[in-house]
Amino acid sequence: MPTVEDARKRMESALDAVRREFATVRTGKATPALLDTVRVEAYGGKMPLNQVATVSTPDASLIVVQPFDKSLIGDIERGIQSADLGLNPANDGNVVRVPIPPLNEERRKEFVKLLHKMAEEGRISIRHARRSVREEIHALVKEHEIGEDEGHRREEALEKLTHDYTDRIEELLKQKEGEVMAI
């Protein structure tokens, strides 16, 4: 069933996108992924932070950014500040330290709303994949390339696949929501 396999690939990539998006949402713990969205003014253009520095987390409340080129340290600091992550970086001339403050209740609720929005975008991507493959199946049945029974079987498999992937997004959402709301 090549068309259902196509849907699986699209749905898997939608799930991966949701995972990546969720990784950028701050929990109470420091992770290098928090700075994935940071762009740094360097070498005449804007570059991702991970291309101009090493990002590490020595403990749960601190991110350390070690630039490859020390002349970029001020640009890295400005990039982190302008990324609107609610973080206050400080540099000592060699590295940029980014303390991760504990989240207040209001900020946690904002992050949960953001997570729900990201999850909904993932579910929409999955439904788009389902719809386009369902249209392909209907076209194959209409052109008599496959029988109606085979068309129904493929649609049922597609529906099951859709439910599996939306359930996986719900699982990710619950897990990440728990991390955000944990104090």
Domain ranges of the chain: 2-23+104-181, 32-99
Residue whose token pair is 């330290």:
97
H/E run at residue 67? strand 62-67
Distance CA 53, CA 72 (A): 9
Name 183's Cβ contacts closer than 8 Å, sequence gap at least 6.
Answer: 28, 102
CA distance 38 to 83: 6
pLDDT at site 107: 80
Mean pLDDT by 10 residues, the chain (183 residues): 83 93 77 84 87 88 89 88 82 88 82 92 95 93 91 94 96 91 75
- Token pair 């762009």 is found at 39
CB 151 within 8 A of CB 141: yes
The third-level CATH classification (topology) of the domain covering 32-99 is: Gyrase A; domain 2 (3.30.1360)
User: Residues of 141-164 as b/e, b for ≥16 C-beta within 10 angstroms?
Assistant: beeeebeeeebeebbebbeebbee
Look up the CATH architecture of domain 2-23+104-181: Orthogonal Bundle (1.10)
pLDDT for res 142 = 92
Minimal CA–CA distance to 49: which of 61, 29, 66? Answer: 66
